[in-house]
Amino acid sequence: MIELTVCHLYGNLLNTYGDNGNLLMLKHRAKQHGILFNIEIISLNQSFDPSKYDLVFFGGGQDFEQRIVSLDLQTKKSDLSSYIENDGVMVGICGGFQLLGHYYVDAAGTKIEGAGALDYYTLNQVNNRFIGDIVIKNEEFGETYKGFENHNGRTFLGDQVKPLGIVEKGQGNNGEDRTEGAHYKQTFCSYLHGPLLVQNIPLTDRIIKQAVKNRFPKQAEELFS
């Protein structure tokens, strides 16, 4: 059986809206394909080894926990950037999505430093949130993803980062440009809850396949044919 080593980044601090369900779904689908997940939590005051992990999951939390994570994240940002730039597979949801960017401004107006691993930034809204069902279309893969959004942040992507999808229903990253989430190399980010990967199996399998392909290129095509 193929084994993948998976990092749950700050998994003991960040789990808003049950988004750890994304990791459970990845593990479940991997098992159906004959793949074993070995999941490790890497949290405060622990180093992140970019050569060790086949997949990284980075969820979201409340602003209090994310401020704590932001401080610790500065010690890991170089290694996280290296992992991403070398086609490491990563999933960032909501706060994890925001923290991979340059910075985000929380609901209280405080600027929170991100990892700067991806080129975008997030501003806040005053007395407003984007809440409701959302549908997006990923034109690169020809796939439609559904979920539920609930976020105060308004994220604006840089030129080198593609959205995960174009909004067909809902508000998306910022309510202005119809983008939702981010896709850069093998990093997939989104505001979609639900959790995202429970409702969108093609994306779940795509992520697992890429993680297998990076470590076991020959077996990947056999397992997902």
Catalytic residues, by residue number, are 94, 193
Number of H helices, E strands in the chain: 7, 14
| 25 Cβ contact list (under 8 Å, min separation 6) | 195, 197, 198, 204
CA geometry: angle at 31 spanning 163 and 196, to 5°? 30
Helix (H, G, I), strand (E, B) or coil at 187: strand
Please say whether the dihedral angle defined by the alpha carbons of residues 170, 210, 206 and 5, taken in this order, is positive or negative. negative
Residue 173 is encoded by which pair of tokens? 């990253």
The answer to whether 212 touches 4, Cβ cutoff 8 Å, is yes
